[in-house]
Amino acid sequence: MEERIAVLIERFKREQGEILILSHEAPDGDSMGSGLALLHFLRKKGKKVHFLSIDGVPYMYNFLPGAEEVITDYSGIADLAVLVDASRVERSGLEKPYPFKEVIRIDHHLVGEDYSEYDILDPGAPSTGNLIYDLLKAWDRYAIDSAIATCLYTAILTDTGSFRYSNATEKAFTDAAELVELGADPAMVSRMVYMRKHLTTYRLLLRVLSSLKLDFDGLVAYITILNRDLEETGASRIEAESFVSYPLSLEGVEIGLKFEEEEGNIWRISFRGKGKVDLSKVALELGGGGHFNASGARIEGGMDEVREKVLGVLKRHMERAGLLQERK
Amino acid sequence: MEERIAVLIERFKREQGEILILSHEAPDGDSMGSGLALLHFLRKKGKKVHFLSIDGVPYMYNFLPGAEEVITDYSGIADLAVLVDASRVERSGLEKPYPFKEVIRIDHHLVGEDYSEYDILDPGAPSTGNLIYDLLKAWDRYAIDSAIATCLYTAILTDTGSFRYSNATEKAFTDAAELVELGADPAMVSRMVYMRKHLTTYRLLLRVLSSLKLDFDGLVAYITILNRDLEETGASRIEAESFVSYPLSLEGVEIGLKFEEEEGNIWRISFRGKGKVDLSKVALELGGGGHFNASGARIEGGMDEVREKVLGVLKRHMERAGLLQERK
């Protein structure tokens, strides 16, 4: 990995044209924090850089240094794009023809193969933020200021679920400690990310918790969020982002699901696990992707039909993992 | 601090009699994890040790190695007691005459002065677990096995609120990284502590969220838990332990409160803050104690009377902190 990072640094150094950093759609803290850290650093190195997030900056990340500079569309043709926290350009939400000549990917998800000598794809990294941090350290550690440290710390914090998921490895903690030394303020970041909830969020939570259902002898729990729930509580979609942790956190539950209605008969399904079933494979089979313990997919159809399909695929993977007896 | 630790190690080494570790009442993860880590270590050093927790081991900490050995009363007279995570012996819930000859305190709370040359009291430590870790490392780092690392990691994780509070310092992360290297498994610990919730917890949450009220122009939010709520949902008291984070997490709220009815017209009040008001002083004025951003007190009286008293004291401290204009 060190060698690849050295090669990528040389590539960046050579670039004299426009660089376009790309987050994925519905960006999370890792995509936002990683992308902004890279933006600040490359600018310090005299590069012409933009950060494009087609869905903008979610409310909870609007405190990040540079958040106000994130653009939602780009009119030129950049020489180089850097896709952070996603391995396929389609995940950026951009449509062809793409507004760049070449793309480099920096990502820690399980899917994707290198197709550029400059790609940094490492599913062993706790977050894309850790990969960006390795890159910046290798390039010039003294250029990492407190703004960059704050962005990278936010990436690690949010992608490890406040250091609760299985990607809370020794490296996650070591990097966090270094970033705190470099000026990241964990209490401030947590306050901004997690402690600016709206009353509407709790109104929505009250409805969503009432939708909680258990299946497969209590191994699976799921909640459902309807468009009606959003309309009637006045909550926005992003406020339900972390609600999947409620079904997952029940005793005995191995897999927590969130079924979320979107426009046009589309359902967005979030999968969260406790380590026994590879949910990246479950999601992949349903046209999505993600991590072993956290993945997602979008499916079109009626509510019952979609639920049946998802639970059916999940059942096979649970059987294979030995969680359920195969039944004929 | 290093010198004090060296003196305490010599004191432990000299002790040939019974050592009694004491947690505080209603023990939390720090008290449990710190006490159990010390129990395992001292036994490895050939000491005769017991760990007394008058309220036993709360459900979410029953996975900790050695949890089954925690005793709830002690019939002999120990030569030495070690009070972990509390600075006053009264906090252990024991009544006089105490079942020990001498007491040493290891604690990171803001209250308390040394009254023994062996005391380790350091409000700058993220948790008591970090102080115990310093002690064990200084004594014999090779005796720290994965069971001890798991106990200490649990102490740090829970007392920093999953690294979200202001005590999530560089040391909190550095120690966590070392403990992971020594065998602590963050995902397993988080699963056991946070992901074994009961359905009754969510039933209780539904009621408690409905009790949410805002005061002082939205700077203070509070929830109320009545005995009736516990009876009618079938939830136990411990299940509401973390509910104070709901009022605190609202945007604009600086202080979150939980009023909890106990037997005999006693109210237990939890205070949580975002860094602007010293809540240890608020609690102290009401007969309790704690940290700057997290404290508690018990008050006798009727619901309205207690609420008025608490909000009155809080108001004065908010005024002093410049959060509220002093009004005549």
Backbone angles phi, psi at A87, to 5 degrees: -105, -10
- Residue in the block written with tokens 């540079």: A66
Contact B209 A212 (CB under 8 A): no
Instruction: Identify the pLDDT of residue A222.
Output: 98
The strand pairing partners of B21, in sequence order, are: B51, B82
Select from B170, B177, B194 the Cβ nearest to the Cβ of A249: B194
Contact A194 B274 (CB under 8 A): no
Instruction: Identify the pLDDT of residue B235.
Output: 96
List the one residue out of B141, B84, B120 whose CA is nearest residue B1.
B120
Long-range CB contact pairs, B173-178, < 8 A, 24+: B173/A173, B173/A174, B173/A176, B173/A177, B173/A180, B174/A173, B174/A174, B174/A177, B175/B126, B175/B129, B175/B130, B175/B133, B176/A163, B176/A173, B177/A170, B177/A173, B177/A174, B177/A177, B178/B133
DSSP 3-state of B68: helix
Q: Average pLDDT per run of 10 along chain A, which is 328 residues long? A: 94 98 95 98 98 96 98 97 94 95 92 82 95 98 98 97 95 98 98 96 96 97 97 94 95 97 94 94 92 92 97 97 76
The helix or strand, by DSSP H or E, that contains position A131, with its residue range, turns out to be helix A128-140
Q: How far is CA B215 from the centre of its chain?
A: 27
DSSP 3-state of A194: helix
Select from A157, A162, A170 the Cβ nearest to the Cβ of B180: A170
Q: Which amino acid would we find at residue A314?
A: L
Select from A173, A191, A197 the Cβ nearest to the Cβ of B177: A173
Q: Of A160, A162, A222, which to mutate for an interface test with B (greatest number of B Cβ within 10 Å)?
A: A162
ipTM above 0.90, yes or no: yes
Select from A190, A206, A275 the Cβ nearest to the Cβ of B209: A206
Distance from CA of A228 to the nearest CA of B (A): 20
Q: A161 to chain B: which residues are within 8 Å by CB?
A: 190
Closest chain B residue to A274, measured at CA: B191
Q: Is B200 on the interface with A (CB under 8 A)?
A: no
Contact B187 A210 (CB under 8 A): no
The ranges of chain B with pLDDT < 50 are 328
Q: How far is CA A58 from the centre of its chain?
A: 12
Q: How far apart are CA A103 and CA B53, in angstroms?
A: 59
CATH architecture classification, A199-320: Roll (3.10)
DSSP A71-102: BS---S-EEEEEEES-SSGGGGT--SSPSEEE
Instruction: Identify the pLDDT of residue B328.
Output: 47
DSSP 3-state of A121: strand
Q: Is A143 on the interface with B (CB under 8 A)?
A: no
DSSP 3-state of A326: coil
Look at chain A and count its residues.
Answer: 328
Are A17 and A80 spatial neighbours (Cβ–Cβ below 8 Å)? yes
A vs B: CB pairs below 8 A: 113
Q: How far apart are CA B200 and CA B59, in angstroms?
A: 14
Distance from CA of B174 to the nearest CA of A (A): 6
B-proximal residues of A, 37-96, CB under 8 Å: none
Q: Kindly list the strands in the beta sheet with B120-121, ordered across the sheet, starting from the edge strand earlier in the chain.
A: B48-52, B18-22, B78-84, B100-107, B120-121
B-proximal residues of A, 267-306, CB under 8 Å: 274-275
Q: How far apart are CA A199 and CA A204, in angstroms?
A: 9
CA-to-CA separations, A238 to A198, A241, A283, in angstroms, rounded = 11, 5, 21
CA-to-CA separations, B10 to B3, B6, B19, B48, in angstroms, rounded = 11, 6, 14, 16
Q: Is B211 on the interface with A (CB under 8 A)?
A: no
CA-to-CA separations, B182 to B135, B151, B176, in angstroms, rounded = 16, 11, 10
Instruction: Identify the pLDDT of residue B325.
Output: 78
Give the homologous superfamily in CATH for domain A2-194.
inorganic pyrophosphatase (n-terminal core) (3.90.1640.10)
Q: Is A238 on the interface with B (CB under 8 A)?
A: no
Contact B170 A157 (CB under 8 A): no
| Tokens found for residue A94 | 């951009």
- Residue ranges covered by each domain of chain A: 2-194, 199-320
Q: How far apart are CA B151 and CA B61, in angstroms?
A: 9
Identify the sign of the CA torsion B203, B205, B209, B211: positive
Are B23 and B32 spatial neighbours (Cβ–Cβ below 8 Å)? yes
Distance from CA of B257 to the nearest CA of A (A): 14
